[in-house]
Amino acid sequence: MRRNPRELYGLWRKTSRRALLLGGAQVAFAGVLGWRMANLQVEQADEFRLLAEENRINIRLLPPARGEIFDRNGAVIAENSPSYRIIMVPEDAGDVPAVLNRLRQLVHLDPEDLERGLQEMRRSPPFLPVTLAEQVSWEDVSRVSVNAPALPGVTAEVGLTRIYPQGPDFAHVAGYVGPVSDYDLNQLQDPDPLLRIPRFQIGKVGVESKMEATLRGKAGAKRVEVNATGRVMRELDRTEGRSGADLQLTVDADLQSYVQARLGTDSASAVVMDCNSGDLLAIASSPVFDPNLFVRGISVADYRSLTDDPFRPLASKSVQGIYPPGSTFKMITAMAALEAGLITPDETVYCPGHMELSGRRFHCWRRGGHGHVDLQNALKQSCDVYFYDIAVRVGMDKISAMAQRFGLGIRHDVPMSAVARGLAPNRDWKPRVRGEDWLVGDTANAAIGQGFVLASPLQLAVMTARLATGRSVSPRLIKSVDGIEEPERAGQTIDVNENHLRMIRRGMYAVSNDRRGTAYGSRVIADEYRLAGKTGTSQVRNITEAERRSGVVRNEDLPWERRDHALFVNFAPAEAPRYAVAVVVEHGGGGSTAAAPIARDITLQALYGDTPPLSAYPAKDRSRIEAQQERLQREREDRNRRESDRA
């Protein structure tokens, strides 16, 4: 149908108006788009270029090799060993449960390790690798590699793991490492990014913990290209990190091994200290545990067996344990009285077996008393009444000050866990801490190392070394760091009268070498190696007057936890001291019977540098000592063989 010109004109006008509106909209849109593109490409180009680069390139940390730990002669205490582990990338695996079932048929997967791996999968992106098993054998690696087509996402790789070749011998000294926990991270204000690497290990206790910053080293880094989802496409470059520093300890591994074997399974501790340098040659606690169990995360059953043991194998008793020092403290009481000018070596005190103070009777360990005793005889026979008497005269403040000068009541600077301060209280301590007045009876108790006085085996070794040398020698555990020697700690001369020290040493010599000395049974026969020592027996229970009248119950008839602690300290050789030794046997009974024989054997082992000859022992003891030496040697060989097989 033909349209007239007017209709055609109207249609044209409508079409033109629509075209104009549509064209205008298109032009406006194109203008806005052009302006935005110019804004992004010109004005914000640098910002978006940087963001693009950051999305494309990731920096990933490379954990450094941990520094190793050696004994004073170069024997390895803690080292890094290559180990194989099996990892899985969940995204590549697809059906994770099915792949895990196939993997279980090929290699053993520890249930606890597997559970930790599954937890990591749940909280990590699916493209990140997760460790399923560590320290697997080469045979396991071979099985995984051969069956790779059936195990998508599963691969075996090599890494470093911490091992302790000496096993339990250095468990309390070196400590151990373990995976970083949330607790570890919460203790740090600005944690090293290394600590967030999955299953990264840090020192938990001992030297491993206290020297963590030195042993850890510095992280390396690698630049990798990733896609939009964060998956690694390729590695661009890498910078290797700096390994941690190697540490050399002052401890002698052979001597440490002997000391641990000699302590046996008793709840006990021993410290051997070089009198001239302060070096700790042995610092042992018994019973022990295997630190290798903690490296990957100890099982619940193994950990419970350690925590439930009444002998507390996890505690380093040599530095953490604090005990009433008993009669080993009597040298401090005597030094305070001598320095104050209140006694002379020849002055005697009469001991009838007890002393009355403020209406209370303080007993001597010997019920019938010792009669008239001077300083040397009081030390030799460990007469309590003598020290009650002189302590009341000198006062607790001077005794406390003297104790601190000789290393008691002080937290010594050694890199081990929970090093105890001990306690050498003065008269102000009790009102301040307990809100009670200090009594004269408190001074009498403190005079013989009971009451509030507390000391660790380490502190007792320091005290003995200072008595032996007259210098403020302090303990040193780190011999060198990356080959750079640490300063020795021989200390300065203590400001006391040397003649007074000689009197104390003479009394200690009599303890071990006079027939009436309390440690005569544990003497050394070799003239060049005779020792000077002091026994100690500290009570852990109160003995009532009724019990004294009826007869004090013998230690062996009491439950273990109510028996007395046994202590012994000594230095040797007596004429030219080289080593100071302190031994504590928890609830061991008498110091002369339980602690002194152990200390004598340890001292001779240190002096000879090997199994001492039987001629160094009293003739009556030689057959027993020979059998003991053979037994200890067999035990050490068996343990070394087991550790070698395990490694």
Active site residue 327: yes
For the CA atoms of 502, 504, 507, 513, the dihedral, rounded to the nearest 10 degrees, stands at -70
Query: Which of 257, 267, 327, 522 is an active site residue?
Result: 327
Which tokens belong to 489? 């700690």
Integer Cα distance of 414 and 210 in angstroms: 9
Among residues 470, 502, 500, 450, the alpha carbon closest in space to that of 330 is found at 450
3-state secondary structure of 76: strand
Integer Cα distance of 204 and 289 in angstroms: 15
Which tokens belong to 420? 């105890």
Report the chain's terminal Cα–Cα distance, integer Å. 104
Q: Are residues 289 and 314 in contact, defined by beta-carbon separation less than 8 angstroms?
A: yes
Q: Are residues 425 and 552 in contact, defined by beta-carbon separation less than 8 angstroms?
A: no
Q: Are residues 243 and 67 in contact, defined by beta-carbon separation less than 8 angstroms?
A: yes
For the sheet containing 220-226, what is the strand order?
Answer: 57-62, 220-226, 232-239
Packing angle of the helix pair 384-394, 440-447 (nearest 10 deg): 130
Q: Are residues 64 and 218 in contact, defined by beta-carbon separation less than 8 angstroms?
A: yes
Q: Are residues 464 and 274 in contact, defined by beta-carbon separation less than 8 angstroms?
A: no
Cβ neighbours of residue 549 under 8 Å, at least 6 residues apart? none
Q: Are residues 536 and 449 in contact, defined by beta-carbon separation less than 8 angstroms?
A: yes
List C-alpha distances in Å: 231 to 53, 128, 132, 225.
15, 8, 20, 8
Q: What are phi and psi of 548, to 5 degrees?
A: -65, -40
Among residues 571, 576, 626, the alpha carbon closest in space to that of 603 is found at 571
Which tokens belong to 52? 């693009």
Length of the chain equals 647
Integer Cα distance of 332 and 336 in angstroms: 6
Among residues 219, 267, 230, the alpha carbon closest in space to that of 91 is found at 230
Integer Cα distance of 539 and 527 in angstroms: 34
Q: Are residues 18 and 26 in contact, defined by beta-carbon separation less than 8 angstroms?
A: no
Active-site positions read 327
